[in-house]
Structure 1
Amino acid sequence: MNTASRITVFAAALAATSGTAYGVGNAVGTITPQQKGGHTVHHGASGGHDDMASMPGMSGTSAMPGTRHDAAPGGLEISEDGCTLALNTSQVPAGKKAGLSFSIVRDDTGRKVNHAQQHGKELHFIVASRDLTVYRHLRPTRAADGIWSTPVELPRAGDYRVFADFTPKGADSLTLGADLSVAGHHEPVEAPAPNATAKADGYEVRLGGTPVAGEPSTLTVTVTEDGRPVGDLQPYLGAYGRLVALRSGDLAYLHVHPSGEPGDGTTKPGPEVSFMVTTPTASGYRLFFDFRHEGKVRTAAFTVHVTGTRVPGPTSTEGPPRSWSGPVTFGRAT
């Protein structure tokens, strides 16, 4: 199948996902609710970061606290490893600023979880629409009683997913997810087409690399402004850029770590930022790259589909086909 055909297949499949009816409070995907300790539990893959998991030979090794050595995505469960994401706000209005509040509690005691620092923060909180066209990386604050809160303004009605990415003290990192409804009249939008170049507030960001399911793959983003390479990116969450990948259909979450960090003596502040990622299945993915320049954080978004052989583990029953033949290269940074 040629590249044009593959893009057509992917766009049609993703359009089917975004065209699903958005009744307020109705979840989309392969998430099956059950009751556990008074909270809705969504069954899926184990949560975690794709850092050491993306390196060859790390599978099956003993994990240090705060590190996960598997390539399984996160965000599919509301409870995991004795912790639950308790979302106090389940619905917000479209197009208006509203408050979100939540807490992370231990299932056995009901107490709030103590968090370890990761990338300069105790917790990272992300909101994404089910059609993967809206993405927000928010900065919640924690009150003395352990409840987190943040303002949010989401532009369109529909079904959303929130992700709490954190590390309990003395334990492995976790990514828990919960559903959020945005009330109002829902207008379906066109599905994002596969792209290797994205615009972000006057910047052009190009994605290079050939992701293959189940294999460590290097992705490189290159940032330019008005055609000039940006070689003075500023640190953002301990790196010169952060990349989050969400799988089409079930919104499985991969938090990908960059190669190198500011101050290590070898990593340059742009224009290129490289990431090592292991995607668990052949599928469509939406990638969100956050970077800071001139004191402001911008986000560039990419739609890709990953090829390769399916690997054992959780899969989504929605979204694009799982077995395109042959790799696809998304532009080479120059």
Structure 2
Amino acid sequence: MFSASRSSARRRGLAAAGAAAALALTLAACGSSSDSSSMPGMNHRATSSSPSASQTMGDMPGMDHAATDNGLSDTKDGYRLTSKDATLLSGKQAAYRFSVTGPDGRPVTGFALDQTKRMHLLRHPLRPDRLPAHPPTMAADGTWSADLASLAPGSWRMFASFTPAAGAGKGEDFVLSRTLTVPGNATKAPLPAPAASTQVDGYTVTLKGEPMAGMAHPLTVSIAKDGKPVTDLQSYLDTYAHLTAFHEGDAAFAHLHPTTEVTGDRGGPDLNFHAELPASGNWRLFLQFQTGGTLHTAALTLRVG
């Protein structure tokens, strides 16, 4: 509804999401703990999933226990994403509450900063004009709360991306997820065809590179306006551009890491990224960049061989 360096695991890309055939992805929300500032961040698309419940674990609807390290599970290495909000009403702003428990079963309250935020909340599906009214904030007991903008009916997946500041998982990157249902008649939209460029808010965004599945590959994004190269990009989340990708079909999620150094508010026109997309096929890419204090979100489809 992201540049400080990340671990190699994050650079390889983290799979995350469900199984809707149509993608309507964009940014949803990033947050920080109550002692730091917050800004909107990421969102993605509606998915279909079969939640499971385990009474011995005290599970609630919306929990998914996948035996994979791809972001589709609510647990990993003893860390667990929990929430009592398995259903939210359509057409209304709603608060989504969640927390992360550690291997000791206690709520985690210490998170390391990642691109200026202690917690990134991701969801499916939203448009750029559907950013949450307020980013997530953490209470003293470790409960995070995010005011979500009006949700469309359908099956959603909520992702929490974080790095523990202490404990067994200190310094490790985690992406955990849960499903969320919004009652009503869900609608789907086809994924736009692959294209090398797109336009947003008068800017032309062009992508250069031909990545192969499972291989590290550089990608370059060039930004122009009125036919002229843009050189006034401002830093956003410690980088000139934030790029995420979602795979058509299984909606695997990958964060493409920027490699262009930030040297002030004169970024552009070319921005370099480290891409390692795990699967072939169509990927929907979302690029965030900021000029004049305004955040822009561009989207295009990339074919990966």
TM-score normalised by the chain length of structure 1: 0.68
For 2:136 and 2:113, locate their aligned partners in 1 and report how far apart those are by CA, in whole Å.
Answer: 14
Stretches of structure 1 that go unaligned for 5 or more consecutive residues are 1-14, 20-25, 47-73, 308-334
* Contact persistence 1:28–1:250 (CA under 8 A): no
Mind listing any 5+ residue stretches in structure 2 that lack a counterpart? 1-18, 24-45
Report the counterpart of residue 286 of structure 1 in structure 2. 284
Matched, 1:110 2:106: yes
Task: State the alpha-carbon separation in 1 of the partners of residues 151 and 99 from structure 2.
Answer: 25
Question: Which residue matches 1:4?
Answer: none
Shift of 1:290: 1.1
The residue number in structure 2 matching 1:17 is: 21
- Counterpart Cα distance in 1 of 2:107 and 2:20: 41
Shift in CA distance, 186/27, structure 1 to aligned 2, threshold 3 Å: closer
Distance 1:109 1:280, change over 3 A: same
Aligned counterpart, 1:239: 239
Q: Secondary structure at the match of 2:115?
A: coil
**CA deviation after TM superposition for structure 1 residue 261, in Å:** 2.7
Task: Identify which of 66, 74, 79 aligns with 1:43.
Answer: 66
> How far does residue 203 in structure 1 lie from its aligned partner after superposition?
2.1
From 293, 296, 300, give the equivalent of 2:294: 296
**Distance across 2 between alignment mates of 1:134 and 1:183:** 19
Q: Is the 8 A contact 1:234 1:292 kept in 2?
A: yes
Query: What amino acid is aligned across from residue 260 of structure 2 in structure 1?
Result: G
Spell out the pairing of 1:194-205 with structure 2 (5 A cutoff): 194-205=194-205
CA offsets 1:62-117 (integer angstroms, 9 cap, x no match): xxxxxxxxxxxx42111112111113322333343222221111243232242111
Aligned to 2:179: 179
Corresponding residue of 1:98: 94
1:120–1:144 Cα change, 3 Å: same
Q: Distance in 2 between matches of 1:191 and 1:99?
A: 29
**What corresponds to 2:273 in structure 1?**
275
Contact 2:90–2:184, Cα closer than 8 Å, also in 1 = yes
Shift of 1:199: 2.5
TM normalised by structure 2 equals: 0.74
Identity of aligned residues (%): 34
3-state DSSP of counterpart to 2:21:
helix
The residue aligned with 2:210 is: 210
Partner of 2:143: 147
Shift of 1:269: 0.6
| Corresponding residue of 2:222 | 222
Cα offset for 1:212?
0.3
Letter in 2 for 1:257: H
Pair 1:111–1:121, CA change in 2 (3 A) = same
For 1:154 and 1:222, locate their aligned partners in 2 and report how far apart those are by CA, in whole Å. 33
The alignment yields a C-alpha RMSD, in angstroms, of 2.8
Distance 1:92 1:201 in 2: 32
What residue number does 2:48 align with? 28
Q: Structure 1 pair 41/159, CA: closer, same or farther in 2 (3 Å)?
A: closer
Given that 1:124 and 1:137 are in contact with CA atoms closer than 8 Å, whether structure 2 keeps it comes out as no
